[in-house]
Amino acid sequence: MVEFCAMKNLQNLLIAAISVAGCNAIHETTVPEFKAEKVERTASFMVNHNIDAVFLLYDAFEERKWEEGWNPNLIYPSEEIIEEGTTFWTQGHGHEPYYLWRVSKFEPENYLIQYLVSTVNRYWTVTVSCHEQANNSTLTEVTYSFISLNQKGIELNKHALDRMYSRDLQDWKEAIDYYLENGRSLPRH
């Protein structure tokens, strides 16, 4: 049994070494010099509802209620629950046919959730934190932090931030307020 385990460990070590050597060879011969860039933006908005009701809506599966067309496809776990490690995919746009999402941080006691999203061109985090305010309202802070993996990623990141933050996420506020008042998503034109 010890000999079998030693052979298995040696096999795994060899596979890892060959993989690293292969990746280095590919990188040295086919990937041009590239310098990744990080771009980030934060916006805050006030929602006139209590923090427990508002924070719940940043759960990827609850977001369907207020964001028309949002359709996360569950990968892990087997039920639609939010916990660190929950993984799903959504439809992408243009050069990226899908986005792979993973809950990287989930602290409901602190009203904080963070998603790690990836494609072949880039990855980013979406961090949402809620803060209880006077008069039963909630301040929501949303930060998108993008890192490019190639030149196309640089272009996509800048475009995505400009598009998403063109109204400083007031579209999120309007959609959430509408849902909390009417029980359905805001019709999009």
Residues 88 and 144 in one domain: yes
Distance CA 138, CA 173 (A): 11
Range of the domain at 27: 1-31
Residues 69 and 160 in one domain: yes
Reported as a single tens digit per residue, the pLDDT across 153-180 is 999 999 999 999 999 999 999 999 999 9
Cβ pair 178, 69 in contact under 8 A: no
Q: Which has the minimum average pLDDT: 70-74, 91-95, 155-159? A: 91-95
**Two tokens at 88?**
């799903």
pLDDT at residue 8, rounded to an integer: 41
Residues 70 and 26 in one domain: no
Coil vs helix vs strand at 187: coil
Instruction: Report the number of distinct structural domains present in the chain.
Output: 2
Residues 162 and 178 in one domain: yes
Tell me the pLDDT band of 145, cut-offs 50, 70 and 90. Answer: very high
pLDDT at residue 36, rounded to an integer: 95
pLDDT at residue 26, rounded to an integer: 40
Q: Which residues of 153-164 are buried (b: 16+ CB within 10 A; e: fewer)?
A: bbebbeebbeeb
Residues 1 and 20 in one domain: yes
What is this structure's pTM? 0.82
First to last CA, the chain: 66
Reported as a single tens digit per residue, the pLDDT across 36-61 is 999 999 999 999 999 999 999 999 99
Distance CA 65, CA 54 (A): 12
CA-to-CA separations, 177 to 2, 5, 185, in angstroms, rounded? 63, 59, 10
pLDDT at residue 31, rounded to an integer: 58
Q: What are the residues facing 128 on neighbouring strands?
A: 113, 142
Classify residue 187: in a domain, yes or no: no
Domain harbouring 57, CATH code: 3.30.530.20
